[in-house]
């Protein structure tokens, strides 16, 4: 069975590498965005407040209990820690949570244009999106609204702000946030072409989700 957390050393490596990739891909600006990894059943490692994701130092990472108490670390935890804690409480299967400010996704969400999943990769990595209307950043209200949406989807758009998404690992998290922004960019370009309807054929998602369900059923049927 896939473990639903990483040990602390692996989690620190995963966060620093993921931060560099997200920063290099232009999915945050300046000190925007923050990341977390589950390091135990009731514990996460989170990025510090006011730090560029491209320049994370593992000594600045902060360990929090899921109750929000600091367990280890000198730096102040991310200002969006409530949202990360709420995401991990809501989704025991989530190992990594990413909050980024992808520019095209933000533009479309703020102007009321739904982001369309157009290619197979968009559909495979993003699956489904939910939207949360503006709420103050760093607030418990925002954290609660995001956690409620995560019952149905892995990717939540925060209007006028960014996104919060969860994934079973760092690689999947990067693919998810990068494909969210790719889908938003493709949607923007489709709108410029006058296209308002094109999406990836829904039967593609039905096919892959059918295969995944069959694989899970086979594992549980084997007593695994
Ligand atoms: Zn933010």
Spell out the per-residue pLDDT of the chain, length 224, in tens: 456 899 988 999 999 999 999 999 999 999 999 999 999 999 999 999 999 999 999 999 999 999 999 999 999 999 999 999 999 999 999 999 999 999 999 999 999 999 999 999 999 999 999 999 999 999 999 999 999 999 999 999 999 999 999 999 999 999 999 999 999 999 999 999 999 999 999 999 999 999 999 999 999 887 55
Q: Which burial class, exposed, middle or buried, applies to 61 when counting CB atoms under 10 A from its CB (0-12, 13-18, 19+)?
A: buried
Parse the chain into domains and list their residue ranges.
Answer: 8-199
Catalytic residue among 74, 80, 175, 181: 80
Q: What is the pTM of this model?
A: 0.95
Pinpoint the alpha helices (H) of the chain.
8-24, 81-90, 103-110, 120-126, 140-149, 170-192, 202-221
164 Cα: distance to centroid of ligand 1 (angstroms)? 9
165 Cα: distance to centroid of ligand 1 (angstroms)? 12
171 an active-site residue? no
Q: For 8-199, give the CATH class.
A: alpha beta
22 Cα: distance to centroid of ligand 1 (angstroms)? 13
13 Cα: distance to centroid of ligand 1 (angstroms)? 22
79 Cα: distance to centroid of ligand 1 (angstroms)? 9
């Amino acid at each position: 069975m896939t473990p639903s957390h990483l040990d602390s050393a692996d989690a620190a490596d995963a966060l620093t590498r993921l931060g560099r990739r997200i920063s290099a891909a232009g999915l945050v600006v300046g000190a925007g965005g923050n990341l977390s990894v589950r390091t135990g059943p009731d514990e996460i490692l989170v990025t510090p407040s006011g730090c560029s994701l491209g320049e994370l130092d593992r000594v600045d990472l902060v360990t929090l209990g899921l109750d929000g108490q600091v367990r280890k670390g000198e730096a102040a935890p991310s200002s969006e820690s409530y949202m990360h804690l709420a995401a991990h409480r809501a989704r025991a299967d989530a190992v990594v949570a990413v909050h980024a400010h992808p520019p095209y996704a933000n533009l479309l969400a703020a102007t009321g244009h739904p982001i369309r999943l157009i290619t197979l990769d968009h559909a495979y990595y993003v699956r489904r999106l939910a939207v949360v209307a503006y709420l103050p950043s760093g607030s418990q209200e925002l954290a609660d609204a995001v956690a409620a949406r995560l019952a149905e989807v892995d990717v939540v758009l925060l209007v006028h702000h960014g996104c919060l998404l969860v994934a079973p690992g760092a690689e999947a998290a990067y693919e998810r946030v990068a494909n969210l922004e790719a889908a938003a960019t493709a949607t923007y370009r489709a709108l410029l072409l006058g296209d308002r309807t094109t999406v990836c054929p829904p039967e593609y998602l039905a096919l892959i989700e059918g295969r995944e369900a069959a694989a899970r059923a086979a594992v549980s049927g084997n007593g695994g």
